[in-house]
Amino acid sequence: MAEKMTVPEVVKMKQRGEKITCLTAYDYSFARILDEAGVEILLVGDSLGCVVQGRENTLPVTMDEMIYHTRAVARGRTHALVVADMPFLSYQVSTEQAVQNAGRLLQKGRAEAVKLEGGVAMRHTIMKITEVGIPVMGHIGLTPQSIHRFGGYKIQGKVKNQREAILLDAIAVEEAGAFSVVLEGMPKDLAAEITGRLSIPTIGIGAGAQCDGQVLVIHDMLGLFQDFTPKFVKQYADLKGVITAAVKDFAREVREEKFPGEEHTFK
Ligand code: KIV
């Protein structure tokens, strides 16, 4: 990817029928690697609460933590679009607070867009944030900040009324001015229907192959986080295995006085 990825360019990718790739990143080193590998979108997800901080869900993540991680990711980005998640309670209390917090993620975190969860209920909020020039990525379906309302990480949209509600959410997000929308944890035919109905790109996670793009949590797809692996995760590498073997080699060589060798030592 030679050109800088921008919000209009992401939208054009859907129009050209090109698939969009998105991975989460939480720090400079990972951001650089993913950016150089050609991923279009780096999402600083509030999933960092689980995979970086070891919390049981995303609810405790704060604005200050999101800004800290977004700034680190932005330093590693050259081509990719950096999208920062709005954490729980940073946008639900009032639209004024939502606009201010979205602005902080751009001003202090150097994100280029924000993502927030919710459809019809967030319509006005998305409208207000986009009105001040901040691009918004929506997120509907299995929205992790509503885990207690769902009673766990359960696939949404399996029954008729849920399905209709999710479709209305998708339409509301587009009409409110979002430039794209994450479809999480829903039947593939519902995601395909939404993808066909919307002119903005859909980015799927546990939503089948018909979405305009796909997103995964980097720790899941690299096999770094193995506390819980959802069905929709494909593990492309076993970095936990690689790291464990390297750490064991290091410890053994230190104990056997093989490291540091002459080549790692100053005269
Ligand atoms: O927080 C996150 O990483 C996300 C993606 C999984 C879509 O919202």
What is the number of domains present in the chain?
A: 2
For CA atoms 165, 169, 175, 180, the dihedral sign is negative
Question: Same domain, yes or no, for 165 and 255?
Answer: no
Q: Is residue 171 part of a domain?
A: yes
Residue 218 has pLDDT above 60, yes or no: yes
Residue nearest atom 2 in ligand 1 by C-alpha distance: 45
Question: For atom 3 of ligand 1, which residue has the closest CA?
Answer: 45
The residue behind tokens 């796909």 is 214
* pTM score: 0.97
Residue 2: band (very low, low, confident or very high) from pLDDT cuts 50, 70, 90? low
Same domain (yes/no): 163, 261: no
- Ligand 1 centre to CA of 51 (Å) is 11
Question: Could you tell me if 216 and 192 lie in one domain?
Answer: yes
Q: Which residues fall within 8 angstroms of residue 109, CB to CB, at 6 or more apart?
A: 44, 66, 67, 69, 70, 71, 74, 84
- DSSP-H helix ranges across 177-263: 188-197, 218-221, 239-255
Q: What value, to the nearest 5°, has the Cα angle with vertex 237 and ends 234 and 242?
A: 150
Residue 57: inside a domain: yes
Range of the domain at 265: 238-267
Distance 258 CA to ligand 1 centre (A): 43
Regarding whether 168 and 56 lie in a shared domain, the answer is yes
**Structural domain includes residue 202:** yes
Pocket test for ligand 1, best of 70, 181, 184 (most atoms within 8 A of CB): 184
Which residues, including other chains, have CB under 8 Å from residue 41's CB and lie 6 or more apart?
5, 10, 20, 21, 22, 23, 80, 81, 82, 83, 203, 213, 215
Residues 251 and 232 in one domain: no
Which residues form ligand 1's pocket by a CB distance below 6 Å? 24, 43, 45-47, 85, 182, 184, 205, 215, 217
> What is the average pLDDT across 21-47?
98
pLDDT band at residue 244 using 50, 70 and 90 as cut-offs: very high
pLDDT recorded at residue 228: 80
Q: Are residues 266 and 244 in the same domain?
A: yes
CA gap 8, 30 in Å, rounded: 25
H-state helical runs in 52-138: 63-76, 95-107, 123-131
Mean of the pLDDT values across residues 45-69?
Answer: 97
Structure tokens at 178: 């979002």
Q: Give me the half-sphere count of Cα atoms (radius 13 Å) on the Cβ side of residue 33.
A: 9
Mean per-residue pLDDT, 68-95: 98
Point out the ligand 1 atom lying closest to the alpha carbon of residue 184: 7
Residues 159 and 227 in one domain: yes
Q: Is residue 2 part of a domain?
A: no
The C-alpha atoms of residue 139 and residue 114 are separated, in whole angstroms, by 11
Q: Give the number of the atom of ligand 1 that is nearest the alpha carbon of residue 46.
A: 1
Instruction: Say if 1 falls within a structural domain.
Output: no
